[in-house]
């Protein structure tokens, strides 16, 4: 394993301090905690908190800022943060209007955030949870933990952050969040696995020319392995599958092409070019685009494609509104 680190035990602390030290004008680390928080939190607004395991940088701390998150809770690599840390974030950011937790649908995250919600209610905080489950490569049945929450989460940060800035109440944000999550669909494709520092070896093995569709952001197994194909054909696979998953084909969409960590932007732009052509052929208008590394998986090679149904013009405005964050 080759990684630019010091002691394994210190990687999270050192990463957090590096982040906070680089962007001291925007964020700070709450003392003795796993919480990064916004410096100047606007009063009389619902505060948004997200978080999860590390290894997905710039998610989530990169999205702290007015109009997005107020704080991010940082877990160990690919491991949910603990309830006491989530509670610290809630204590830090609550301006009296309540706190909305945005959680990716993974069992560990759900359990820890739910416990934090219960504990925070004892401290007289009003807290609601929006669960993001945009990964449609997983069948949503009672026999699984449900669809996973992946790159589409950052669109929820943006849309709900904008609504909170415009004065939406906690219950309105919860409702908007649940409605919007249903409009977001993502599938990933991996070219190579991530190496978790504590483990020291790649989480799965792909052949020299092999790719895997549907891999999760922690290297969870996908739905099919095959030989690498031209970008155009990968785009075709993902666009077709995602559009087919909508009950009614959307007329306007937003497109997020997300790098998994080790895929060059050049390839992401090429892939985006193919996606835009395919959507034009399908007669689907694209009213918002975003491409880059937003929800990574350490050094996994690959990309994910996220579409969001933007039939509602308000969502476009929310996605396009100005924010000052590290990474949006």
Partner 1 sequence: MNLTVTEVQAWLAKFSTAIVENKDYLSDLDTPIGDGDHGNNMARGVIAYEESVAKTTPKDISATFQALSMAMLSKVGGASGPLYGSAFMKMTKATKSVETITSYEQLGDILAEGLEGIKTRGKVELQDKTMIDVWDPVVKAMQVGELDYDMVETAKESTKDMVARKGRASYLGERSVGHIDPGATSSALLFKMLLEVVH
Q: Tell me which residues touch partner 1 (CB under 8 A).
A: 53, 75-85, 106-108, 111-112, 114-115, 138, 142-145, 148, 196, 198-199, 203, 216, 218-221
Reported residue count of the chain is 328
Shortest distance, CB of residue 85 to partner 1, whole angstroms?
Answer: 8
Question: Catalytic residue among 60, 157, 218, 277, which?
Answer: 218
DSSP 62: G
Bridge partners, residue 285, by sequence: 252
56 noted as active-site residue: yes
125 noted as active-site residue: no
Closer residue to partner 1 (CB): 136 or 310? 136
With left for phi above 0 and alpha for psi between -120 and 50, is residue 102 left, alpha or beta? Answer: beta
Shortest distance, CB of residue 265 to partner 1, whole angstroms?
Answer: 27
Measuring CA to CA, which residue among 49, 98, 90, 104 is closest to residue 71? 49
Measuring CA to CA, which residue among 86, 179, 87, 190 is closest to residue 137? 190
Closer residue to partner 1 (CB): 109 or 162? 109
Closer residue to partner 1 (CB): 70 or 85? 85
Residue reference for tokens 């990716």? 104
Shortest distance, CB of residue 257 to partner 1, whole angstroms?
Answer: 23
Question: Catalytic residue among 56, 60, 125, 157, which?
Answer: 56
Closer residue to partner 1 (CB): 24 or 199? 199
Measuring CA to CA, which residue among 131, 128, 104 is closest to residue 116? 128
Shortest distance, CB of residue 73 to partner 1, whole angstroms?
Answer: 11
Q: Is the dihedral of CA 223, 229, 230, 236 positive or negative?
A: negative
Catalytic residue list: 56, 218
């Amino acid at each position: 394993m080759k990684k630019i680190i010091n002691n394994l035990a210190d990687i999270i602390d050192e990463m957090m301090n590096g982040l906070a030290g680089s962007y001291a004008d925007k964020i700070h680390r709450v003392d003795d905690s796993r919480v990064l928080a916004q410096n100047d939190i606007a009063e009389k607004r619902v505060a948004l908190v997200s978080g999860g395991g590390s290894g997905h940088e710039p998610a989530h701390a990169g999205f702290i800022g007015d109009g997005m998150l107020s704080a991010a809770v940082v877990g160990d690599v690919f491991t949910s943060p603990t309830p006491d840390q989530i509670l610290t974030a809630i204590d830090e950011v609550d301006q009296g209007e309540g706190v909305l937790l945005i959680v990716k649908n993974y069992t560990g995250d759900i359990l820890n955030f739910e416990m934090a919600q219960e504990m925070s209610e004892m401290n007289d905080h009003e807290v609601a949870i929006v669960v993001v489950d945009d990964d449609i490569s997983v069948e949503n049945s009672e026999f699984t933990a449900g669809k996973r929450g992946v790159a589409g989460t950052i669109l929820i940060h943006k849309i709900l952050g904008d609504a909170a800035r415009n004065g939406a109440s906690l219950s309105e944000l919860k409702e908007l969040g649940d409605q919007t999550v249903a409009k977001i669909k993502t599938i990933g494709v991996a070219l190579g696995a991530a190496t978790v520092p504590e483990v020291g070896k790649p989480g799965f093995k792909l052949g020299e020319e092999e790719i895997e569709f549907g891999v999760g952001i922690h290297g969870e197994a996908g739905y099919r392995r095959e030989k690498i194909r031209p970008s155009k054909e990968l785009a075709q696979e993902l666009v077709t599958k995602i559009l087919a998953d909508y009950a009614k084909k959307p007329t306007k969409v937003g497109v997020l092409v997300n790098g998994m960590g080790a895929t060059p932007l050049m390839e992401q732009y090429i892939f985006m070019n193919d996606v835009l052509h395919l959507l034009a052929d399908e007669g689907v208008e694209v009213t918002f685009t975003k491409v880059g590394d937003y929800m990574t998986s350490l050094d996994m090679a690959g990309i994910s494609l996220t579409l969001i149904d933007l039939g509602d013009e308000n969502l476009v405005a929310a996605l396009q509104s100005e924010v000052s964050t590290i990474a949006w």
